[in-house]
Every structure is written in C-alpha cells, then in structure tokens.
A and B are shown apart, each in its own frame.
Chain A
Amino acid sequence: MKKEVLKTDLLIVGGGAAGSYAAVTARREDPELDITVIEKAHIDRSGCLAAGINAINAYLNPGETPGSYLHYVKDDSYGLVRDDLVYSIGQGLNRVTEEVESWGLEILKDEDGNYLKRSSRSIKINGENFKPILARKVRKSRIRILNKTAALNYIVQDNRVCGVFALNLKEDKFYTIKAKVVICTTGGAAGIYKPNNRGQAKHKMWYPPFNTGAGYAMGIRAGAEMTTFEMRFVALRVKDVIAPTGSFAFAGGRQINSQGEEYLKKFSRITTSLRLFATVEENRKGRGPCYLDLGHLDLDKKEKLARSLLGMCPGMVLKWEDQDLDLSELKVEIEGTEPYIVGGHCQSGYWIDSNRRTTLPGLYAAGDVAGGAPKKYVTGAFVEGEIAARSAVEELKKLPQNFLELNITELIANEYNRVSSFLNREEGLEAEVLEDKLQQIMEIYAGGRSQYYRLEAEKLLMARRKLNELKAETVNLKADTSRELLAVQEVIERIEVAEVLVEHLLYRKETRWPGYQSRVDFPDRKKEWRKFVNSRLRTENNELEIIERKYKSLGDYAAFKDYDQADFYLEYNL
C-alpha cells in the first residue's frame, strides 16, 4: 500500500445526498476554500440514491408549515424528537427542493404548473438520474472528489478532529487527509441483522448494503456522543423485491391479512411504526401473510406505476414481467425488512447542536448519520448538509492559517500498521465469516425478523456477551486485496455499531416505538421515558457510558425561544 498525505480546508466524508449538498453550499459560501469530498464508491451512483427515487417525501405542499411538519414527525415518533432539528429542517425543505430542480431534477407538475402532489408532504419526481444530477453540480462547483476512497478513522489531536485516514481501492493507497474542519455524511448502517433473503438475493434489501455504519463507528471510537440507536428502522416493503409501499399509495391501497380483514382498523392511532407492527402481529398470530390490496388497476394505471417504479426499484417491474402477472387486480404481499440503523427515517446518530456540530470539536454531521430528526429523507439531508456546511465555513474563517501544521507521524504509523496487519496473512478469517456470525447473533438475540422484532433483557445480555467474543475474533481477520481490506473494515464497523445498539436497547425500559423497539419485558410506553438515551465511549477506559438527555419542546431551545409551539403530545400523557 502506497502512502499519501493530503491537506484540505474542508473535508466532507461521503458523497451521498447530504455530502453533495454540503459541498455545493460550502463552495457558494466561500469561493476560495479548498474543499474535498471522499466517496467510498463513485459519486455518480453512490449512497441511497444509486438506483434513483420517484418521490420527494419531505416537502411542504400548500397548507403545510415547518410547524405542521414538526407536529407530524413528533406525533409519528411518539413524542420524542429534537424539536429544534426537525423544525429547522422544515424551514428549508422547499428551498432545497427548488434548488435541486434548478440543477436539473425533473419534478412532475399538474395542469396549473404546480408540483404534483402525492400526499400532503410528498411530491412526484422523475428521479432516476437524481444522483448523477447532484454529482454534476458538485463537479461544477470545483470540488476535489476522491472516488473509491473509504474513510477508516478520524485523525484526532488535542481532542479535535483534524481529518481522516482513508483507503483508496483503485490505487491501493493509504491516505492521510488533514482537514481544518470535517463534515461526516456517511449514511446509516445496513447489514447488522440477517437479510430477508439468502444467496444471490441476499441484498434485495431496502437500504444500501454498502452503508455499513463507517461514520457511526468512527465517531464511537473517537468518543462522540450518539443518540437513540435503539429506535431501529424496519421498512414495510413489498416482499422479495423490497419496493416501497408508498409508491402504491396513490391507488389508496388497503392493508389486509390472509382473511381479507383490514387489520389497521383495530387501532385508533396509526403511525409509520404501527403499520409495520400491526403487520408483524398478524403474521405472529397466524393471520398472515398480509397484502397491500390495490383493487382494480386498469392498463393505463399499471403502466404509469411501472414507469414510476423503474426510476427507483426496477426489480419490482422485473418481477411483474418475469412472472407475467395479471395486474388487473393487484394484491402485493408485504413484510418487514431486517432492521437498520438510520437517522433519516428514524433518529439514530451523532448528537448534534442546531448548527449540526457534533460533540467532537472540528466535526459536523448531516443526513442519515446525524441523529434526532426522523423522517428527514433526501430533502432533509440536503437541508442538514446546507446548515452543516454554513456552520463549518463560519468556523473555518476563525481558524489560524497555519492550522494544519500537525505533527502526527506516530498516529499515521499506528493506523497504517493496524490496517496493513490484515494484509499478507497466510491464515486468518474472511470478513464474510464474521459478518454471518454477527447477523446471526443480532437476528436471534437482538430482535431480528424471525423474532418478530421483539426484544427482552435476557436475550440482549446474551447478544452483549456474544458480540464481545465476536469482537475479539476481529484481530484474526485477513485480506488479500484492497477490496477485501474494505470488507474487513466494514465488518468491524458493523460489530461496533451493533455493540452500541445492544446497550441502547437494553437501557430503554419501555416500548416507545412498536416494531422498531418492542420490549417484551416492558411492553408499555411510560411518561418518564420520554427522554433521549445517548451514549459515549470513554476513550480512557474503553467503556460505554449512557447519558440521559431531556426532551425539550421547540420554545425551550435558544434559537427558537420566540416560537411558541404548544407541546400537543402531552395530551397522550405519555
């Protein structure tokens, strides 16, 4: 492995939705800045938008406001979100949508030229080329892009993040990238739990399997405070092809069980997690499988649906064409995916302030890796990228010119030796072996699909013990190529994220989000648990410390002290 040292003013780790938007914003804020984006894959087709997307699901249609968005997100998350983060996302959603339209994204319009509404917070787009459009804008903004470059660890000196160590797959290169300020936009974590399918269909999963929790793991190791890992995300999806059920919603689909019963009607209050939970319960009680019944679908509607799905989930249409299905009466089987850790749908991630600053000096976070603001989706990731970039540029202005004259020879040698120790070994474990073991442990003892996502203390304690043993095995991993070295790094990341996840799951002694976090031993929601469970690795003794943080309503945050939004959630008394 060759070694190379780079210096940059602003380093953005991850060129997905949040990272791309942060890069473009930073350039706009400062035309002279040296900005670098490192991207594990290739920026043209990386992150969640690789296949495209057919709707923007966080947009405020006429009648909606940042306040109504906060109300919805908080209600859907059973009263526990960071009001300041969610509200500030709401303030920016429409601006960033219009901005990306000006970059070339095609947003569908109605006869009057208004955006075509899918629901009160959703509009339809032709987004198959969404990622290439973002990438082109980043390139036009004179940003240095290092593709096929995966971050390994932060460079931390005097308690400040001063860059990252990274691995370049194409050139077999070990990078030391020194940066005055770093923004982490690496996305969430998939592959912690056993996937739905086996063999060659293993990764017919909803979230990108290449998002392995790198940013979480780097933050955990460096002692960053993390929040709400226990709110796992489980998507309700069309079986086998994992197409989003939302794409079918236009036809007013009804969720029915095997007996044709509309099982959601048993509940007075429907949330995103409850739609999943209710489906899982039908299966558990022997009334599955469950379906999304779209009723009669004429040819024109079917073709429209197919074209819309091609720009996001071509596998769904492939299935129809492959099986030559008669879709005139469309009833698709639905099920839950394996659980993911993701801050854009749920709220696991870095504990950040309203400027998107993490608890580690020099480090900001945005998008799926940032916690506290569920349902931000793509446009919310843009808004966070924008806020993080603005805050980072402000901080950069205040730093001395010679800021990067670091003496880190020893840190470089240590990290290089750690990484290269996996290479050129005659014997050792392949990353896939430990990945399978990890997924098996989490599946059985930490509430996987086969366990109906149910959690209990005894099993979680078993998961803790087994993960501890598994972690000890990672020193025996081996890699023959740089791609295999990346796989080694990724399985270590996943194990470290899983360890923190299990501690969070153990700590919350209630059931707040049915399906996502269902405790068999604490089945009820409790008022006193309306608080954040955070954690931080104490680097001096390598122990994970749990930190409780109070829930605050919007007006209690200094930046929003003039906003009086009544805490409606109190009416549920939970």
Chain B
Amino acid sequence: MAVKIDKNICDGCPDYNQGRCERICPGSLISKQGKKAKIIRPEECWDCAACVKACPRNAISLYLPEEVGGRGTELKVQQKNKRSIWIFDREDGSRKVYKTG
C-alpha cells in the first residue's frame, strides 16, 4: 500500500453516502466500512494521489513502500483556489513544502 488513511482523522464523510476518496479512486480500491474509509485492495494502488487531494480532512497521505526503499516520508496535498500545497513530512520530524499552480 502506498497510500495510508489516518483512522484518527478520517470521519467517513458523514454528509455523503460515499466517502470522497471512495468516490474518486480510479481503481475503486477504497470502501467506507462503518464510519471509516478503508483501502480494500492496497496492492492495486497507482499512486495517482487523487484520494489524497480529495480528502476534505487531509487524512490520506502517500508514502514510498519499503519494497522500493521507502523510509517513511509522507506526502499530503492541500488544494486551495487552484493552488496546490505539497507537504512532505519526514520520519525525523523535518518538513518540506512545495507550492504549485
């Protein structure tokens, strides 16, 4: 799995019958189970980050799997007024931010 959903932050999009991530995932790999979104077929993920961008609570992040040498840095994206803010949080607590758009 190269995408993780923080269960403590995810609120399952209570105003919708489908989670925003569940709706947008191009592989239909996410499913709302109870009040939380869950990745049902993690190994099929394409890393497109559509769910990361769609999550209204920023509960989803992209990371590099161990199979390709990942060290735990997490990427989150916030989209505001056609601009994207890309936040990289490393394991050691350091952070790098890029802005695009």
Q: Mark A186-199, 1 if CB is under 8 A from B, else 0.
A: 00000000000111
Residues on B with C-beta less than 8 A from A314 are: 47, 49, 62, 75, 77, 86
Report Cα–Cα, A128/B77, bound state, in Å.
Answer: 12
Residues on A with C-beta less than 8 A from B43 are: 199-200, 202-203
Which bucket holds chain A's interface residue count?
Answer: 35 or more
One of A89-97, A321-329, A413-421 at the interface: A321-329
Partner of A201 from the list B31, B50, B67, B98 (CB cut-off 8 Å) is B67
A75 within 8 A of B: no
Q: Mark A223-242, 1 if CB is under 8 A from B, else 0.
A: 00000000000000000110
> Among residues 228 to 273 in chain A, which have CB atoms less than 8 Å away from a CB atom of chain B?
240-241
Which bucket holds chain B's interface residue count?
Answer: 35 or more
B8 within 8 A of A: no
CB distance from B3 to the nearest CB of A (A): 10
Q: Name the residue in A47, A205, A483 with the highest tally of chain B Cβ atoms < 10 Å from its Cβ.
A: A483
Q: Is the CB of B62 within 8 A of A324?
A: no
Residues on B with C-beta less than 8 A from A323 are: 69, 71
CB distance from B7 to the nearest CB of A (A): 18
B2 within 8 A of A: yes
Contact of A201 with B63 at beta-carbon distance under 8 Å, contacts A45-B48, A318-B73, A321-B88 already known: no
A455 within 8 A of B: no
A51 within 8 A of B: yes
The closest CB in chain B to the CB of A196 belongs to: B68
Report Cα–Cα, A4/B43, bound state, in Å.
Answer: 33
Report Cα–Cα, A315/B70, bound state, in Å.
Answer: 11
B84 within 8 A of A: yes
Report Cα–Cα, A203/B25, bound state, in Å.
Answer: 14
Contact of A204 with B68 at beta-carbon distance under 8 Å, contacts A209-B46, A322-B73 already known: yes
CB distance from A104 to the nearest CB of B (A): 9
A42 within 8 A of B: yes
Contact of A318 with B69 at beta-carbon distance under 8 Å, contacts A45-B24, A303-B98 already known: no
The closest CB in chain A to the CB of B64 belongs to: A322
Q: Mark A115-155, 1 if CB is under 8 A from B, else 0.
A: 00000000000101100000000000000000110000000
Residues on A with C-beta less than 8 A from B82 are: 129
> Among residues 51 to 101 in chain B, which have CB atoms less than 8 Å away from a CB atom of chain A?
54, 62-73, 75, 77, 82, 84, 86, 88, 90, 96, 98-101
Residues on B with C-beta less than 8 A from A46 are: 26
A370 within 8 A of B: no
Q: Is the CB of A208 within 8 A of B26?
A: yes
The closest CB in chain B to the CB of A209 belongs to: B46
One of A304-312, A371-379, A537-545 at the interface: A304-312
Q: Mark B28-46, 1 if CB is under 8 A from A, else 0.
A: 1001000000001111111
Report Cα–Cα, A390/B45, bound state, in Å.
Answer: 36
Partner of A240 from the list B40, B63, B68 (CB cut-off 8 Å) is B68
Q: Is the CB of A311 within 8 A of B100?
A: yes
CB distance from B64 to the nearest CB of A (A): 5
The closest CB in chain B to the CB of A46 belongs to: B26
Residues on A with C-beta less than 8 A from B26 are: 41-42, 45-47, 50, 208, 210
Report Cα–Cα, A322/B71, bound state, in Å.
Answer: 6
Contact of A202 with B44 at beta-carbon distance under 8 Å, contacts A50-B50, A307-B98 already known: yes
A561 within 8 A of B: no
- State the B residues within 8 Å of A (CB): 1-2, 18, 23-28, 31, 40-50, 54, 62-73, 75, 77, 82, 84, 86, 88, 90, 96, 98-101
